[in-house]
Amino acid sequence: MVADTHPLDSPGRRLAVVIPTLNDDAALARLLPILAHLELPPEHVIVVDGASSEATAALCSRAGCSHLPCRPGRGLQLRAGIDAARAAGAEILWMVHADCEPHPLAARAVRETIAAGASGGYFNFRFGGERSAFKRVL
């Protein structure tokens, strides 16, 4: 007999967001409340702080997320965040820049994509602010 559950309700599909930062307090202050209010929000938010700042630690504490001091370096920070997420029991990892603004359904989309069998993915994005040649190249 097949259980009458939605794949997103399956045990063991815990989502962790890993955010590598370096002096990104203003952006992080905007992002953390957005993550908390996503539909099907992540079980874990791990901020990997390359500046090891007290201000970043305080933001994380207020938001109820993990603050992980780390030497600066995107690769080092991502590795530390992935290790922390796995240690916390997360099976789904979502790497997020501190200055992004995820769509309210983004976490649901991540979970649904993984539940459908994908092993990875990405979101389309656009840059805010004024247009520039640099933004067109990316």
Question: Is residue 2 situated within a structural domain?
Answer: no
Burial level of 48, CB count in 10 A (0-12/13-18/19+)? buried
Question: Is residue 103 situated within a structural domain?
Answer: yes
Question: Is residue 137 situated within a structural domain?
Answer: no
Alpha-carbon gap, residue 55 to 111, rounded angstroms: 31
Query: What are 3-50's pLDDT values in tens digits?
Result: 334 455 544 489 999 999 999 999 999 999 999 999 999 999 999 999
Question: Is residue 86 situated within a structural domain?
Answer: yes
Question: Is residue 33 situated within a structural domain?
Answer: yes
Question: Is residue 135 situated within a structural domain?
Answer: no
Give pLDDT, residue 124: 86
Query: What are 65-119's pLDDT values in tens digits?
Result: 999 999 999 999 999 999 999 999 999 999 999 999 999 999 999 999 999 999 9
What domain count does the chain have?
1
CATH of the domain at 71: 3.90.550.10
- Residue 28 belongs to domain spanning: 10-118
Question: Is residue 21 situated within a structural domain?
Answer: yes
More confident residue, 85 or 127: 85
Question: Is residue 134 situated within a structural domain?
Answer: no
